[in-house]
Structure 1
């Protein structure tokens, strides 16, 4: 069977399994339900798998309203826009409430100030004890009014603070999801590029070391063509998972290309980064890939790794280019190895290498 035929067969197997689960858990055979369950079977979104397991564990079923909620939360292409619009409207409402409270507080304070000024003026021109008692009584009343207003404002501010905190958490969740690669669960290209610029600028200001690791999966195109894209996705998840396991420092882990990954290591020298890169490389190599549908062993996956340390005058672009060149040097040297910009075999001269040759 050709690679295309195997890939096609695998999609049918996934689809069949999705239909079986829909029937088992009482979901209707709607396109939306099929998409949710198909995603569950492929494992492309671990968060949706956890949500389905929780629902099924509680009731033994995943009904259509559950499916609808799962789709809208995790798969709907409109969810970001809708969430942003909803949260934006809530933020505007909260701001309006705060402004109203501030106006109330200012008005109350201004009124109290006027009362104090009138009391001071009257007190300066009168020595009548009865009049003084009247002025003091009026001042006490005004003070009580201000205290009551402040108590009301305090209660409303506490309530508003809680609502703003919920909005902040919602916005943070949306922001994190927009910066995350859905397949591997690590940062996407946008977040990687932003963090590389930010971390490099900080390292320059603090005169601290900074290292960058670039990873490329060896022969990934050939692997994809042979076993299909679903298995290829499994390989990508494997590399992302291994990076999370082996790099525990304050690093930014990202998938910034098809089979390309990056690790930004602040406050890290090239030698320390090399050790981290080697942990990732050897861990990936030690794991055997198994075909989920049949249990068949697909062999081992290897990666080529480039590692570069920040130098004087570096920009985010130049640092990334040098780490990339180190990775290509590792490819040319036989793959499944780590090359740093301090190694003798690294020339620092970029070369145009056909993708088919280095994959």
Structure 2
């Protein structure tokens, strides 16, 4: 066979293969989330979360004295009991926590670079002799892997994790993990998408009290509700309306935010005597059928500067009734407690 004949046959074969070979599969179109229909009667659901509690309270001396004991800090059990009761009260019974396991660790958890405090180096930081180690962030994956948390959440054994630790331990107040995790007062935890369920890890400090625990929870609520309402604009975004305060919306205050009461001039200004008009009662008694109920309010309403009292007041005003509007349930606690319910 001549070279010209061979070249012709090779070219013909290439043409035939190009005709009959399979075309590449086109990319799948993006999935449009299904928005549930509006309703006035869909019941508000009670949400119960099964919690794993992990406490880092290292022994500091040969007598077996723990860090919290040596410093006279709060007992974790006392904090858990009071916080759980506050959430139950504020939600009108819609949000319930069930502690299924407590794990106590006699160690300083590692930082992201592998560093660990010792009793001596930590006390130097606490006394101001040495600066805190940087980077300050804790190695979350050390904890997730060591306690098999991703698999346990996947299996439905636990729904949430509470970590109690000490100042400078490096925990976020809250952080979300799992497939589809989003901002929850901190960036979502990386390398956790193998868990098909979103879940929250709360970081509590047993040097602090229940008021600070409620603040951490309040910021979690803010992040989750911001994500829940992110597609809605204007007056349809009821979350934006709920969080109005007089400084940013003069004469149109509602309930405010965790940091800003209806009359606050700056962050943490919970003891301001200035009277401002607020529709907070309309939210508490009439949502979603607002009646235009407005009255003058000031710090007398939320504890005159008491952190825990303000945060309870704020949480108690979160909607917790039947029905849906624009696909979003009128019981906002369902989303705050279970971020898996937030439409992606």
Q: Same fold (TM over 0.5)?
A: no
Q: TM-score, normalised by structure 2?
A: 0.25
Task: Please identify the structure whose Cα radius of gyration is greater.
Answer: 1
Point out the structure with the larger helix share. 1
Q: Which has the higher contact order (CA 8 A, sep 6+)?
A: 2
Identify the structure with the greater strand proportion: 2
TM-score (norm 1): 0.24
